[in-house]
Structure 1
Amino acid sequence: MKISGVDIRPGNILEYETGIWKVAKIQHTQPGKGGAYMQVEMKNLIDGRKTNVRFRSADTVEKVRLDTKDFQYLYAEDDMLVFMDTDSFEQIQLPADLLGDAAAFLQDGMQVTLELYDERPISVALPEQVEAQVVEADAVVKGQTASSSYKPAVLDNGVRVLVPPHIESGTRIIVDVYDRSYVGKAG
């Protein structure tokens, strides 16, 4: 499906110069002289390269529709991750770097969504938020204001996050997977 250069949004998957690209950021610019354009930051989903491209309103680009399929994470083997198709029970192995930093939040049995292009997996989407246990939390420094003083903590998966002062070691919390921020206490 062709879309205009000014209709590009973050998260869109585009076919550009024979590659498949995911839009990371956009910035609409209207210079005093000349026509408006969309500055688009994209990441290649096949080889991981990044690029910045200017699209004018007259430019058209092919928007790609990816197939999505539900999988269950089973285990890690060396630098590969093993997933199982929840419909056919077929197992596939994918490189851990396909997930990037989010790989640290994978938990046994976790339901994930694979995005496929021509039957080939190109990205793995984890749930937005996961539950994790704090294994190490710094002590609260007396005299700090309670309004916005967060302290560093280490989760059971080795990830460092900032948590409110009342969170102690052993507490289960909910964390946003993609920006690694504290969401709340697990109920």
Structure 2
Amino acid sequence: MKINGNEIRSGAVIEHDGSLWVAVKTQTVKPGKGPAYNQVELKNLIDGRKLNNRFGSDEKVELTEIEKRDFQYLYTEGDQLVFMNTETYEQINLAADFVGERAAFLQDGMQVMLEMHGERPIGISLPQHVTLTIAETEPTMKGQTAASSYKPAIMENGVRVMVPPFIGSGERIVVDTNEVSYLRRAD
């Protein structure tokens, strides 16, 4: 759907210069001379680049809808991650780089949300918290629990996280997938 450049609002996804951009900030500017324009800070949805652009009321831009779909992580095949659409049961392969470092948190059967533009995936959201087992950490020292210091631990997926001193090897913990940080012991 085409809209005027002065109708772009924060959160809108537009097609501009052959790519997809999300409007991060917008500001209507009315200079003393000349026509008003919309100053828009854009972020590229594909590669993360940022851009500041002026859109006049006479400019037309293509407003695009991003669809969010539920997928289930199935398995890893080489450097490809295999997901299944939970509605149509179709499978899709994505490069491990698409998920990035957070791919280490993927577990068999995990529900994820893929942001799609048409049939092209442009983003992925993992669950905010996952439960993992500590594979290796330093032993607890007597009297150390009173201190607020944290110690390094390696989880079953190979990711390193800082945990409180009372957490030992073999314990299950809840981890924030965005911050890659310890939250609490698992129930």
When normalised by structure 2's length, the TM-score is 0.75
Separation (CA, whole Å) in 1 of partners of 2:22 and 2:148:
35
Correspondent of 2:10 among 4, 8, 11:
8
- The residue aligned with 1:131 is 131
Paired residues for 1:152-171 under 5 Å = 152-171=152-171
Structure 1, gaps ≥5 residues long: 29-36
Separation (CA, whole Å) in 1 of partners of 2:158 and 2:127:
19
Paired residues for 1:1-187 under 5 Å = 7-8=9-10, 13-21=13-21, 42-45=43-46, 48=47, 50-54=48-52, 64-140=64-140, 146=146, 148-187=148-187
Structure 1 residue identity aligned to 2:172? R
Deviation at 1:77, TM superposition (A): 0.4
Q: Relative to structure 1, is the Cα distance of residues 38 and 92 closer, same or farther in structure 2, using a 3 angstrom cutoff? A: closer
Deviations 1:124-154 (A, max 9, x none): 2111111111111124567868453111111
How many residue pairs get matched? 174
Q: Relative to structure 1, is the Cα distance of residues 162 and 56 closer, same or farther in structure 2, using a 3 angstrom cutoff? A: farther
Note if contact 1:105-1:130 (Cα within 8 Å) is conserved in structure 2: yes
Percent identity, aligned pairs only, is 44
Deviation at 1:52, TM superposition (A): 3.0
Note if contact 1:116-1:123 (Cα within 8 Å) is conserved in structure 2: yes
Any idea what SS the aligned residue of 2:136 has?
strand
When normalised by structure 1's length, the TM-score is 0.75
Any idea what SS the aligned residue of 1:178 has?
coil
| Larger Rg over CA atoms | 2
Deviation at 1:6, TM superposition (A): 9.3
Aligned CA RMSD, in angstroms, stands at 3.4
Q: Relative to structure 1, is the Cα distance of residues 179 and 5 closer, same or farther in structure 2, using a 3 angstrom cutoff? A: farther
- The residue aligned with 2:32 is none
Structure 2, gaps ≥5 residues long: 28-38
